Amino acid sequence: MDLKDVKPDEVLDCVALACPMPIYKTANKIKEMQSGQVLEVQADDDGIEKDMPAWCKATGHEYLGLVKQDGEYRAYVRKK
């Protein structure tokens, strides 16, 4: 899957937040979403590279991947 073709249903801005806040906010936001919807999480904490796939594995949500650009990360998660 090419991530630039992914159209998120919701975008969550976690820039300037340190671990574990991006995962904490992702967990809360995804509860509001419908199954199958995609969340884009924007962050600048490099911990998201390992934390987001691990969180998805633990919770059963689908980790679609991550794009790093200009020191910012965009992680994509599909709600189970």
Which positions are catalytic? Answer: 19
First-last CA distance in the chain: 18
| Of the candidates 39, 50, 24, the residue with the CA atom closest to the CA atom of residue 76 | 39
